[in-house]
Amino acid sequence: MPNPTPQSGKKAVECPHCGFKQLESPFAKSTFCRKCSEHFELGKTVRSPRKERHPILARLGGIFAGKTTRDVVCFGCGARQVVSVSASSSLCPQCSAYLDLSDYKIVSTYSRSVETQGKFHITPKGDVTSAKIACGEARIEGKLRGALICHGPVRINFQGKMHGMLDVSRLVIEKKSELEMLRPIKARSVDIYGKVSGRFYVDGAVTIAKKGSLEGTLYAKSVKVEKGGVFMGELVIGSHEFTQPELLPEEPPLEEGGPNGPEGPETGEIAEPAPPVQDTL
């Protein structure tokens, strides 16, 4: 392939396994190839021999070995890349930002902010009060207070009130859930198998499965209610721009002399009548 165009502060490197050329930060000591996903140290250009496998054996090996790569998205610039599932960190190919790929499992009270491309799991005994959680995938079985931003699927299996705000790609409400969402929810798609109430702003489709229930206000492009599913509330089909209630413009004050009756325009006091005029001869 042609040499990649150099960018400010980056250098071109070549994968010693397959020969693929890519841009990396000059401070990086090692990286993963974005074509073959092999790990290599920067500065070593000797190509190591790679044993070719029969196509059928390679396919069977991939099936039994499971998925070896995953897609991650930079929270800073939105650039996507493919990394190995065994990697614990990486660098964004676009802005050179550090990417944490670690998984988090919360089993008790937790109050620190997290930004990872890995999985974030709140167990039934977990209680998260972080101001912001940014992750690549999430599973919620415990309490969440704060904001959760996720580029991948978020699965909820919880009973009770949830104070957290969600801005996710795909939201799945599992069968045993009985949720009351106290803050607005933003998602690209929603699948409901349990019971949930709240206000939802969905850019794509909403599916309410058999025995699923949604109560509240729903803005979505399309809604599918399967036989046995229930929807109760206000429904708006089409695009809708999400606006926080506290950001709505204030109503203009009433002008003086407006429809205030006998009361003053702002003070609420009763206006005193003018004294009578006496005629003098």
What percent helix, strand, coil does the chain show, rounded to 5?
Answer: 5, 45, 50
CA dist 160 and 166 (Å) reads 16
DSSP 204: S
Provide the H-helix boundaries in the chain.
55-65
User: pLDDT tens, 119-135?
Assistant: 999 999 999 998 899 99
Alpha carbon distance 8, 12 (integer Å) = 11
Report d(CA 145, CA 133) in Å as an integer: 10
Owner of token pair 């009060």: 129
Q: What is the pLDDT of residues 144-191, one digit of tens each?
A: 998 999 999 999 999 999 999 999 999 999 999 999 999 999 999 999
Q: Flag whether pLDDT at 89 surpasses 80.
A: yes
Domain boundaries, the chain: 11-99, 102-244
**How far out from the chain centre does Cα 174 lie?**
18
Confidence of residue 51 (pLDDT cuts 50, 70, 90): very low
The total number of residues written for the chain in this structure: 281
Q: Name, in order, each residue with C-beta under 8 angstroms of 99's C-beta and a sequence gap of 6 or more.
A: 72, 74, 89, 90, 91, 92, 117
Average pLDDT over residues 33-48: 61
What is residue 71's predicted lDDT score, i.e. its pLDDT?
82
Q: What is the pTM of this model?
A: 0.62
Percent of the chain past pLDDT 70, that is, above it, reads 72
Point out the least confidently predicted range of 79-93, 187-201, 205-219, 240-254. 240-254
pLDDT for residue 236: 93
C-beta of residue 152 within 8 angstroms of C-beta of residue 136: yes
How does pLDDT run across 268-280, given as a tens digit for each residue? 443 444 555 444 4
